[in-house]
Structure 1
Amino acid sequence: MDIVNTPRHTSDELVLRPGDPGYEDELAGFQTGFAHRPDAVFAASSADHVVAAVRYAARRGLRVAVQATGHGLPGPSEGGVLITTRRMDGVSVDPGTRTARLEAGVRWGQVVTAAAPHGLAPLNGSAPSVGAVGYTLGGGLGILARRFGYAADHVRSLDVVTADGRLRHVTRESEPGLYWALLGGGGGLGVVTAMETGLVPVATLYGGSVSFDGRRVGAAAVLRAWEEWTRTVPDGLTSSFAAVPYPDLPALPEPLRGRYVISVRVAHTGTDGDRIVAPLRRIGPPLADSLREMPYTESHTVHSDPDFPHAYYGDSAVLRELDLAGAGELLVSTGPDAAGAMCVVQINHLGGALAVPAPNSVPHRAGRFLVRLLSVGDRMAARERLDAAFAPLAPETIGRSLNFAFGAGDRPQGLWDAQTRKRLAVLRSRYDPANLFRENV
């Protein structure tokens, strides 16, 4: 390996090695609990830079990882080449075709802002700081998912550098196999440098959350009422349940400090929102109620995800049905009276447009619910705790979600069904026979 001979600059391309000024800063991302520790970092600002990095790695047999924002790192890694794409942040919107072209480092907040003046919206997730491309390659379960499906379902084309160092423009017509595999298969077949995706004609939505004191109302009671309510709502309404045991810390706002907060989040593009959510408001006395008509540019307030980097570990389970007894056990094992680090529970209602087949590799479309657990603190301790919490849901579990395997990417079991996994393996052997991109699976 001749990493020591790598120039620090190749034209305007920046290459950093351990010990170089800026190396640690280049690795920094939203996830602070673990990181890549590569032998060389290629700080790319163009597709040509990505081509050079992939060719460099291929010549030396080095594995390649990619990082835009660092939200969804699959786990820590040592050695190899890391390509950072955050400088590739161009966004352009074509209102006539209702499409947006996004470079590899673009964050969803940028796309929402660019699309809004045209009365359009992307199929973004809950956090505006998440990278749009990586999110979409993992499927992309957004705040309007039951209305419009996965973000991956709306991609028109992708520019991708494959392991042979070629920059390919991939569409469903030009390379149907690679197109299918990239959308839902994660980053295991190349480095996407740009993506063209469809936008939807949404300028406003009815959304927000209603929250309750979990100790007073009861987390299981709210869950039961929400699950019953999901059976009555239109297919176009997207919602989720969340349980957060906040620690009693001075840094937290007084209304949250030491409370067990149970919330139901809602996003709906119809005009009858108040009528539909009325049963939620009758569950019990609310701690807060932010349900309202809002411009789409405020859609991030539906979930109000943390916007500061921190350490976290998480995993997920896609369920045929939500077994309320098993979910009740999960709430007890992750609640405020359980031993261990703070754990956040989120349960997404699936179905609707998410169940409609699409020409991509996003799996588990028959699932009705997705359970996501997120724990702070030590990665290995969190893994043990979350494994135990998921256990009561095993009889209804059909798989896991690639986008919500934070630090669990070293366990591919369940990320795809057997048929999809087999087809992905065939395509990976064709496009990446040396397995350069194994860090991104």
Structure 2
Amino acid sequence: MSSQPTGSAPATFQTGFPIRPGRLVEAATPDDVREAVVYAAARGLPVTAHATGHGLPGAVEGGVLVSTRALDSVAVDPVRRTARIGAGATWGAVTAAAIPHGLAPLNGSSPSVGAVSYTLGGGLGILARQFGYAADRVRALEVVTADGVLRRVTPEREPELFWGLRGGGHRLGVVTALEIDLVAVERLYGGSIAFAGERAAEVAGRYLEWTRTVPESLTSSLAALVHPDLPQLPEELRGRYVVSVRVAFTGDAAEGERLVAPLRGSGPVLADSLREMPYAESPTIHSDPPFPHAYYGEGLALRELDAGRAARVLELTGPGAPMMTVVQLNHLGGALAGQPDTPNAVPYRDAGFLLRLLSPLGGTDVAAVRSLYGEVSGVLGPLVRGRSLNFSFGGGDRTAGLHEPETAKRLAGLVSQFDPAGLFGGPY
């Protein structure tokens, strides 16, 4: 275990908000995590975990930050179709370990995101409508609780803690590893179709109609942004406002082509990457930026969305917006709408869509971003069910709306039982 005093901070993907722990612990083993928690508890210091740093840790100012980056082991059991994933492993590493066995995890769109952290927040994957949340497929977790005990949590041994850790986030302890089911997927039909942003409202309206017709085996999202004028981007996208539909479908390519055909008439197509691909190429569907940067973001779970409100959201966040804003609308439903065999704390399963907003912060005032997001929320009004734990980037103290009231109350009861002193951030 490496322990460093005040002033130390780990490398982080999110660079927009400084992390100032009183002590940084670079854990090499689960026992290092246990020792760090015992150290923090004895001194009444807040403690939180940090893997890749795509999100932000909770209360860490002057406290103990445990870096789990070195706990990055991945072990696949092809017979049981499971993987044991260390807290520092990325989705890219898990996918690479599963692919040789004809298997895939329920990973998100970015291969550099920490698999364990993403799963604790629910885990919305690229095949989510068919297979549900990543948290739904967790079999066991290994977690250090506030009393300094390293526990193996299963439905049989710790049923209530097992419920809360899957979808409740990081406030019940430091998870050092989890065991998760894999799915038998080797290839898919997927990619994106990019349309000229001048037709954004029409594309969005047609997309919303189209989502009512597709099977659960097709997961999709719509994205809209003004692309920066950078040489690494395709020439047809540089500096342009573009609306794209991203698709991941586990059926064959011919059926995939038939399903997406209604979208192709939405407007002039600037780029089309839809194709059959090995699962290893699935990160190209979204092409999330691989480099660290500063950003602020919000995720809003919506009951439903109509074309009129969608058009107004795109108007507010498009080329006339006061700052660059990336909009992504994820189609939910399907397997996401039902509870797994062993229920968990993942909220808002009745939501039809997830609206994600993200704004780079280089030279942009956070207050101005929040003001714009407030306007968007106002347009959506009663359609907003709540907020997404995995996609609320920046301001780790913004916990309102992350779970339904009854779920939040149940999680608060778990905090009172397992962390009465609020070592990991206090009540929900």
Q: TM-score range, shorter-chain basis?
A: over 0.9
The residue identity in structure 2 corresponding to 1:66 is A
Instruction: Give unpaired runs (5+ residues) of structure 1.
Output: 1-12
The residue identity in structure 1 corresponding to 2:408 is R
Q: How does 1:61-210 map to 2 (within 5 A)?
A: 61-73=44-56, 77-210=60-193
Q: How does 1:241-252 map to 2 (within 5 A)?
A: 241-249=222-230, 252=233
Cα pair distance change 1:330/1:77, threshold 3 Å? farther
Deviation at 1:174, TM superposition (A): 0.8
Deviation at 1:211, TM superposition (A): 0.5
In structure 1, what is the equivalent of residue 285 of structure 2?
A: 302
Residues 46, 60 of structure 2: 8 Å contact kept: no
Q: How does 1:15-414 map to 2 (within 5 A)?
A: 15-19=3-7, 23-24=8-9, 27-73=10-56, 77-215=60-198, 218-249=199-230, 252-271=233-252, 272-338=255-321, 340-358=322-340, 359-377=343-361, 378-414=365-401
Residues 206, 270 of structure 1: 8 Å contact kept: yes
Residues 346, 373 of structure 1: 8 Å contact kept: yes
Cα deviation code 1:158-212 (max 9, x no counterpart): 0000000000000011101000000000000000001000000000011100011
Deviation at 1:251, TM superposition (A): 6.2
Measure the CA separation in 1 of the matches of 2:234 and 2:241. 13
User: Higher mean Cα deviation, 236-245 or 405-414?
Assistant: 405-414
In structure 2, what is the equivalent of residue 4 of structure 1?
A: none
In structure 2, what is the equivalent of residue 6 of structure 1?
A: none
The alignment's TM-score, normalised by the length of structure 1, stands at: 0.93
Residues 59, 424 of structure 2: 8 Å contact kept: no
Cα pair distance change 1:258/1:111, threshold 3 Å? same
Identity of aligned residues (%): 61
Measure the CA separation in 2 of the matches of 1:381 and 1:63. 30
Deviation at 1:76, TM superposition (A): 7.9
Deviation at 1:249, TM superposition (A): 4.8
Deviation at 1:146, TM superposition (A): 0.1
Deviation at 1:77, TM superposition (A): 4.6
Report SS of the residue matched to 1:113: helix
Residues 301, 386 of structure 2: 8 Å contact kept: yes
Cα pair distance change 1:161/1:362, threshold 3 Å? same
The residue identity in structure 1 corresponding to 2:398 is R
CA RMSD of aligned residues (A): 1.5
Measure the CA separation in 2 of the matches of 1:83 and 1:35. 16
The residue identity in structure 2 corresponding to 1:15 is S
In structure 1, what is the equivalent of residue 2 of structure 2?
A: 14
- Corresponding pairs, count: 421
After TM superposition, the runs of 4+ consecutive aligned structure 1 residues lying more than 4 A away are 74-77, 249-253
Deviation at 1:73, TM superposition (A): 1.1
Measure the CA separation in 1 of the matches of 2:193 and 2:17. 34
Measure the CA separation in 2 of the matches of 1:75 and 1:342. 26
Measure the CA separation in 2 of the matches of 1:77 and 1:186. 16
Report SS of the residue matched to 1:177: helix
Measure the CA separation in 1 of the matches of 2:172 and 2:330. 29
Residues 376, 382 of structure 1: 8 Å contact kept: no
User: Higher mean Cα deviation, 48-57 or 75-84?
Assistant: 75-84
Deviation at 1:379, TM superposition (A): 2.7
Measure the CA separation in 2 of the matches of 1:186 and 1:248. 37
Deviation at 1:248, TM superposition (A): 3.5
The residue identity in structure 2 corresponding to 1:14 is S
Measure the CA separation in 2 of the matches of 1:435 and 1:306. 35
Report SS of the residue matched to 2:70: coil
Measure the CA separation in 2 of the matches of 1:260 and 1:282. 18
Measure the CA separation in 2 of the matches of 1:417 and 1:104. 27
Residues 70, 88 of structure 2: 8 Å contact kept: yes
Cα pair distance change 1:95/1:251, threshold 3 Å? closer
Measure the CA separation in 2 of the matches of 1:219 and 1:331. 7
